Amino acid sequence: MKAIYAGSFDPITLGHVSVIERAFKLFQQVHIVVANNRSKNHLFTLEQRTELVERSIPSLYANRTVIMPFEGIVADYINENRIDAVIRGIRNATDLEYELQLEQYIRNTTAAETVYLSPYTQHMQTNSSLVRMFFQSGKHELASHYMSPDAYQLALLYELGAR
């Protein structure tokens, strides 16, 4: 069975990675779709976010992972790639309320089922907004606690303009 985990991943955090690791316990293949939401002001470009995702996935899962930058409607990707399930990460009740709205859309436009997974306990409070704030305020070292080491080093290069 194939699943999709879509998000802006701006940037990808250890919370995202833990949801991905849990998804691999349930699905043979996971498509990680790095979406470009034009209504958001992203810190990192679509290409940079895609590379950060690539750097964050444990090598154990590399041959079972499809990482794809994507501009468009995720439901189209789901239908075109015959995805069986949509993975959504849930940290709290606020997340659940939003995700239930998205589930209605997925249910009406695809044949995929929605599966809710929470991050591992130590990453429950991790979110991209917090990590972006650390980068934007020059507190880069604080972001290192919320990202994989390889992704953090690359994000630091991007943010400091060295790459």
27 is in an annotated binding site: no
Q: What's the CA gap between 3 and 26, in Å, rounded?
A: 9
9 is in an annotated binding site: yes
125 is in an annotated binding site: yes
| Dihedral over alpha carbons 50, 55, 57, 63 (to 10 degrees) | 80
57 is in an annotated binding site: no
59 is in an annotated binding site: no
12 is in an annotated binding site: no
88 is in an annotated binding site: yes
3-class DSSP state for residue 81? coil
Strand partners, 33: 6, 68
31 is in an annotated binding site: no
Q: Which residues are annotated as a binding site?
A: 8-9, 16, 40, 74, 88-91, 99, 123-129
Q: Which residues are annotated as a binding site for substrate?
A: 8, 40, 74, 88
Q: Which residues are annotated as a binding site for ATP?
A: 8-9, 16, 89-91, 99, 123-129
